[in-house]
């Protein structure tokens, strides 16, 4: 902070922001329709929502051009720099806007390799913090960087309910405040997304597309209909890669919740529950070597850049 005074009469206080803290929220896919391939990429139509499970992200400005990323929790300390989306996002921002470097600190709470978008969420949080630190970058420019970092990163700049199409880079925000109680069950094994799509292609299966039906239920505020219409075209592939996924599916279905589904390419399977009490009851009864996490859907406040809200 610096204080400037003129003739002892007027003082202007200027604050220099050197550090920003953000919450990087996880997402779940309510649907994931695989529509085919185009130019070597899988085309999807997916209804997604953010939940209140989050990583803690802190970004601090440096005077030099170095970028340091410090991960802590859930084994994230061993993620190679070249596989770290937050690092990639920071490097792309620095190169595009010719800024200085930064120290990034991430406390992991979102399970890794579970289809919950943790890596993309971290990158989105970094990209929403840097324009504030360096007072540069419009939303369109930030979104372009986010889309290169990962298919969910652009969406996670805003979060909430949204329909994601194409390669995952076209995002249509859905105006809904529906709150859902969700129970996440995560096995120990991780699923590699690219391997899951490769397995899906080899199975030559045709999935039932339900995004339009689920979106209609969301707009009507009908949680029961929404639960019945959940689907994920990658489930057959993921089940062949992890027996735990099928076991968790069957166990969650035995409680007769509103719906059961897998998020992303797995390995997390979740149930939508009628209310918070039933969600807690299910959590207390789940058996097996799994991480069991209770969550709720969340509509984050618009992230601010240095010049505008990210909407």
The question of whether 143 is a catalytic residue gets the answer no
Which is it for strands 67-72 and 102-107: parallel, antiparallel or unpaired? parallel
* Closest to 52 measured CA to CA, from 169, 202, 159, 130: 159
Catalytic residue among 45, 152, 169, 244: 152
The question of whether 152 is a catalytic residue gets the answer yes
Residue 65, both tokens: 């051009």
Please enumerate in sequence order all residues whose Cβ is within 8 A of that of 248, keeping only pairs 6 or more positions apart, or say none. 185, 187, 269, 288, 290
The most distant pair of C-alpha atoms in the chain lies apart, rounded to whole Å, by: 79
The conformation of residue 150, written as its DSSP 8-state character, comes to -
* Closest to 165 measured CA to CA, from 262, 285, 288, 31: 31
Backbone phi, psi, residue 114, to 5°:
-115, 0
Please enumerate in sequence order all residues whose Cβ is within 8 A of that of 101, keeping only pairs 6 or more positions apart, or say none. 62, 63, 64, 65, 66, 67, 68, 94
Peptide bond into 267 cis (omega under 30): yes
Catalytic residue among 22, 27, 61, 143: 27
The beta strand positions in 30-169, using DSSP E, are 31-38, 41-61, 67-72, 102-107, 162-166
Q: Is 98 in contact with 78 (CB distance < 8 Å)?
A: no
Give catalytic residue positions: 27, 152
């Amino acid at each position: 902070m610096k204080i400037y005074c003129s003739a002892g009469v007027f003082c202007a206080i200027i604050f220099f922001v050197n550090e920003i803290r953000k919450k990087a929220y996880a997402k779940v896919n309510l649907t994931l329709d695989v529509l085919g391939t185009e130019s070597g990429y899988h085309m999807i139509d997916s209804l997604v929502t953010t939940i209140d499970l989050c990583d803690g992200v802190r970004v601090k400005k440096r005077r030099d051009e170095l970028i340091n990323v410090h991960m802590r929790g859930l084994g994230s300390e061993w993620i190679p720099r070249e596989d770290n989306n937050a690092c990639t996002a920071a490097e792309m921002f620095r190169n595009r806007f010719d800024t200085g470097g930064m120290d990034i600190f991430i406390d992991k709470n979102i399970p890794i390799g579970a289809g919950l978008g943790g890596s993309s969420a971290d990158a989105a949080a970094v990209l929403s913090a840097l324009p504030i630190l360096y007072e540069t970058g419009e939303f369109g420019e930030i979104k372009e960087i986010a889309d290169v970092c990962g298919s969910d990163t652009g969406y996670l700049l805003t979060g909430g309910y949204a329909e994601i199409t194409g390669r995952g880079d076209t995002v249509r925000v859905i105006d809904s405040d529906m709150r859902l109680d969700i129970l996440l069950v995560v096995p120990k094994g991780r699923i590699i997304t690219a391997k899951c799509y490769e397995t899906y292609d080899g199975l030559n299966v045709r999935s039932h597309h339900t995004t339009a039906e689920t979106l209609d239920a969301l707009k009507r505020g009908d949680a029961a209909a929404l639960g019945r219409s959940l689907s994920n075209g990658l489930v057959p592939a993921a089940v062949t890669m992890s027996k735990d996924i099928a076991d968790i599916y069957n166990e969650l279905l035995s409680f007769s919740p509103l719906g059961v589904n897998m998020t992303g390419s797995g390995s997390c399977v979740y149930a939508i529950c009628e209310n918070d009490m039933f969600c807690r009851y299910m959590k207390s009864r789940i058996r097996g070597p799994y991480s069991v996490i209770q969550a709720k859907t969340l509509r984050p406040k618009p992230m601010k850049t240095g010049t505008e809200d990210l909407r």
